[in-house]
């Protein structure tokens, strides 16, 4: 009788092992999605260094001149390897035109109580002073990391030489309405030419300027 009991126990154990795979056929599965949002940025202008770090207080010096009883011209350049004038056009402005402009936010060149104008064409600029900028003499560079097919200079145009006149800004760069969806580039070597009225007192004059990126 004891031997029969062992046989029954073994049979039960084998049966228990046999039904394990059968229960696996009732397993259920489910699917799910993982979402990721990439927000578009804003059209921006900035003065950055070669590592694209913002320059704290960008400044561009023109050539020094001596005191003169006559009108004279001072020259210089804006935009260098360490102070690059950037425009960044993200996908937020896809299919829109944009312009990069510059204007004096003066009201004048000043040194203490002395001053002269930057945007008065009277007397070819010699009567009160006028500043001319020439973006076409500079170099527009597309950043080397802007490698997608949207990044192109095909629809981006450098502005031509233009004098500041009664607060009207000068265009540095512009893009057509079919401009690239994504663009990041910069300008260097913009020509500067300032007519200085005769008998302007000697001094170290400063003119605040603002660079603006506008989408339309």
Confidence of residue 5 (pLDDT cuts 50, 70, 90): very low
pLDDT mean over 38-48: 88
pLDDT mean over 88-108: 84
Q: Looking at the predicted structure, is the pLDDT value of residue 171 above 80?
A: yes
Burial class (CB in 10 A: 0-12, 13-18, 19+), 165: middle
Residue count (the chain): 216
Q: Looking at the predicted structure, is the pLDDT value of residue 94 above 70?
A: no
* pLDDT tens profile 120-134: 999 999 999 999 999
Q: Looking at the predicted structure, is the pLDDT value of residue 167 above 90?
A: no
* Residue 27 maps to a domain: no
Note the pLDDT of residue 11: 36
Q: Looking at the predicted structure, is the pLDDT value of residue 175 above 90?
A: no
SS (H, E, C) 18-29: HCHHHHHCCCCC
Q: Which residues constitute the domain of residue 158? A: 44-215
* Residue 75 maps to a domain: yes
- The dihedrals phi and psi of 13, each to the nearest 5 degrees, come to -65, -40
Q: Looking at the predicted structure, is the pLDDT value of residue 205 above 70?
A: yes
Q: For residues 159 and 135, is the Cβ–Cβ distance under 8 A?
A: yes
pLDDT mean over 95-120: 92
Note the pLDDT of residue 180: 58
Note the pLDDT of residue 32: 92
Domain count across the chain: 1
Q: Looking at the predicted structure, is the pLDDT value of residue 7 above 50?
A: no
* Residue 20 maps to a domain: no
* Residue 61 maps to a domain: yes
* Residue 23 maps to a domain: no
Note the pLDDT of residue 50: 94
Separation CA 214–CA 126 (nearest Å)? 32
Q: Looking at the predicted structure, is the pLDDT value of residue 165 above 70?
A: yes
Confidence of residue 169 (pLDDT cuts 50, 70, 90): very high
Note the pLDDT of residue 18: 47
* Residue 3 maps to a domain: no
* Residue 25 maps to a domain: no
* Residue 208 maps to a domain: yes
Q: Which residue has the higher pLDDT, 90 or 191?
A: 191
């Amino acid at each position: 009788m004891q031997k029969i009991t062992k046989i029954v126990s073994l049979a039960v154990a084998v049966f228990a092992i046999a039904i394990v795979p059968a229960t696996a056929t009732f397993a259920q599965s489910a699917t799910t999605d993982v979402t990721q949002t990439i927000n578009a940025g804003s059209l921006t202008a900035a003065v950055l260094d070669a590592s694209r770090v913002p320059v704290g207080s960008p400044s561009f010096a023109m050539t020094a001149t001596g005191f003169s009883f006559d009108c004279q011209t001072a020259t210089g350049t804006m935009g260098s390897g360490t102070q690059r004038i950037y425009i960044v056009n993200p996908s937020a402005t896809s299919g829109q035109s944009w312009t990069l402009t510059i204007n004096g936010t003066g009201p004048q060149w000043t040194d203490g109580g002395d001053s002269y104008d930057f945007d008065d064409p009277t007397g070819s600029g010699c009567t009160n002073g006028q500043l001319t900028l020439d973006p076409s003499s500079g170099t527009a560079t597309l950043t080397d990391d802007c490698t997608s097919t949207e990044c192109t200079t095909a629809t981006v145009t450098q502005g031509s030489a233009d004098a500041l006149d009664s607060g009207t800004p000068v265009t540095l760069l512009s893009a057509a309405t079919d401009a690239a969806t994504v663009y990041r580039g910069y300008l260097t070597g913009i020509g500067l030419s300032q007519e200085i009225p005769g008998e302007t007192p000697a001094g170290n004059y400063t003119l605040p300027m603002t660079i603006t990126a506008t989408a339309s």
